[in-house]
Structure 1
Amino acid sequence: MTTNAFYPIGQAGVPWSDKEKQQWFNQTVKSRSYQQEVVTELTALSTDFTLTQYGELTINPTLYPLYALTSLNWDNSKPIMLITGGVHGYETSGVHGAITFLKEQAKNYENKCNIVVLPCISPWGYEHILRWNPYTVDPNRSFVNNSISEEAANAMQFIASLKGEIKLHIDLHETTDSDESEFRPALAARDGEDYLVGTIPDGFYLVGDSENKQVEFQKAIIEAVKEVTHIAPADEKGEIIGSKQQGEGIINYPVKSLGLCAGMTDALYSTTTEVYPDSAKATPDDCNKAQVCAIKAAFDFILE
């Protein structure tokens, strides 16, 4: 059998065994600190929000506690507005955009709704700047019953414990150049499939739910984010990452059947944001601001 021409682990056409998965894990490198960059920020917010540890990652429970921040004055009669970030640990602005929203904007809405934020669902992935968890599992394909992803299973259990109606779920993501240079080749190698080269959209876009299309809601977010960063254009096929554009910067997926984080509730309004941090037209600060802007636009559309 031949080795993969497009990825240094495994053999062409052969799905990874535990040996290859361990080989992949052994090459991972811790590149930043979840405790210093995220947990300290959440602790600082604990005077304004209820900070709850809803689980931990068994690979190192001390280093990787899982946290949620919720409204201090919870009112079961008010709608729940759910924000999730860091499902893919390498997508930095999802984590820090959620935290920045809590710092700068959340107080403007606390009388109208209950706010719930899970800012870093995959802390090991955050530290290692990776899409997968330590076991080569993609948490954002794992929001399903009997999930094999601790990250997804813990988040779903916590969200199921909330009292009240979840009106909004906005899940904060990025599409990076490393999707094509690392993560999609690794996925093909892991599954013993051919790697098909794709393209990375230059700009911000949204992924809605094809089973629950909320066109005006998605449009409202796009219009707001235009003031902060550019919107990804469709390609020559009228597609964004292989899906037909449904409006400027908008595509739809069947989020529940794909096991995506955005499908873990029955919220009337749900969307996944996708920021492009590698664009020559955007800075990391622009990406954080785009995430905050998207959250704010979602809240305003629903509450006002």
Structure 2
Amino acid sequence: MSPIPNPPGRPGQPWTADDRAAWRAQQTKKRSYADDVLAPIDALREVAAVIPYGELDYAPDGVYPLLSIRSHDWNDALPVALVTGGVHGYETSGVHGALAFARDHLGDYAGRLNVLVAPCVSPWAYERIHRWNPLAIDPNRSFRAGSDAPESAALMQLVAPLKGRFLVHIDLHETTDSDESEFRPALAARDGKVFEPGTIPDGFYLVDDSDNPQPDFQRAIIAAVAKVTHIAPADPDGTIIGSPVVAPGVIEYAFVPLGLCAGITGAKYTTTTEVYPDSPRATPEQCIAAQVAAVRAALDFALQAG
């Protein structure tokens, strides 16, 4: 049922602490957070402020500093935009899209909008190309008070002093073939449930907040991204990943009840992007460009609409 090598636990039973430890022991480092994320952030210090907001001590794997990037000309009289990437560490274009936006476009909003970027919320998972943290917890279901995911708790602590000032938050994600081949089966195994196969949409789509829908905002982002890469069509039943399509390329989730990152700010305009990097119609460069286009369209719309 599950493609996890030597899956821990027993079918039909949730993982124990020993099962989680066995799963963690199977995970290996495949790329470098220091090289891919910390070095590019360090290179931005002349054009942006780099603000540490914690560290993750995941011995014996290492200690991971958490860094955010923000506008040099921060002005407390201006509204705030939050850009997050790498909440799921394996979703590569979210991390590199956030970094590319900070490098190339942060200055575009000087004097109009304070911009805060957290480009890689889950660095341990980034290195292991995984959805979970080393505790086998999904950070993007853990943004709530008393969170048991240190990645989520650290980001919420960063955001807390700015609550009430956020105008827009865009959270950068991917939907990959490995969601269906690896991560959803792993979730079922972890929770002692039966894996039910689903589908992976071919193309870019957005997730709006069902408790605060902003259809014009989502539409503006879709229009911008459509110039870069293709938009995911609905499945024959009118859904994308099992959720009803409410507009071309847009579905809805309840952000706060589900503990999703996009619900942490209370901003008027919020969305989660979903890029499909495994499409034969998209390159890695297009995926990053799509994330950047989505961020720019989100911030531009929010500034214009207010």
Instruction: Identify whether the pair has TM-score above 0.5, normalized to the shorter chain.
Output: yes
> Unmatched 5+ residue regions in structure 2?
none
Report the counterpart of residue 125 of structure 2 in structure 1.
Answer: 125
In the alignment, structure 1 residue 238 sits paired with structure 2 residue 262? no
Query: Could you tell me how far apart the structure 2 residues matched to 1:164 and 1:186 are?
Result: 37
Report the counterpart of residue 289 of structure 1 in structure 2.
Answer: 289
Instruction: Give the counterpart letter for 2:291 in structure 1.
Output: Q
Report the counterpart of residue 201 of structure 1 in structure 2.
Answer: 201
Distance 1:238 1:78, change over 3 A: same
Deviation at 1:16, TM superposition (A): 0.4
Instruction: Report 1:136-285 matches (<5 A).
Output: 136-162=136-162, 165-285=165-285
Deviation at 1:63, TM superposition (A): 3.8
Conserved? CA contact 2:20–2:136, under 8 Å: yes
Instruction: Give the counterpart letter for 1:41 in structure 2.
Output: P
Deviation at 1:93, TM superposition (A): 0.5
> Unmatched 5+ residue regions in structure 1?
none
1:189-228 deviations in Å (ceiling 9; x for gaps): 0000000001100000000100000000000000110000
Report the counterpart of residue 31 of structure 1 in structure 2.
Answer: 30
Deviation at 1:62, TM superposition (A): 6.1
Conserved? CA contact 1:77–1:164, under 8 Å: no
Query: Could you tell me how far apart the structure 1 residues matched to 2:269 and 2:164 are?
Result: 15
Query: Could you tell me how far apart the structure 1 residues matched to 2:285 and 2:303 are?
Result: 27
Deviates more, 1:198-207 or 1:59-68: 59-68
Deviation at 1:12, TM superposition (A): 1.4
Matched position secondary structure for 2:90: coil
Conserved? CA contact 1:78–1:164, under 8 Å: no
1:268-296 deviations in Å (ceiling 9; x for gaps): 00000000000000010000000000001
Deviation at 1:106, TM superposition (A): 1.7
Matched position secondary structure for 1:188: helix
Instruction: Give the counterpart letter for 1:148 in structure 2.
Output: D
Report the number of matched residues: 301
Deviates more, 1:59-68 or 1:188-197: 59-68
Report the counterpart of residue 40 of structure 1 in structure 2.
Answer: 39
Q: Which aligned runs of 4 or more in structure 1 are off by greater than 3 angstroms?
A: 4-7, 60-63
Percent identity, aligned pairs only, is 54
Instruction: Report 1:29-68 matches (<5 A).
Output: 29-60=28-59, 63-68=63-68
Query: Could you tell me how far apart the structure 1 residues matched to 2:111 and 2:175 are?
Result: 34
Query: Could you tell me how far apart the structure 1 residues matched to 2:200 and 2:163 are?
Result: 39
Query: Could you tell me how far apart the structure 2 residues matched to 1:210 and 1:87 are?
Result: 20
Distance 1:177 1:19, change over 3 A: same
Conserved? CA contact 2:205–2:273, under 8 Å: yes
Using the size of structure 2 for normalisation, the TM-score is 0.96
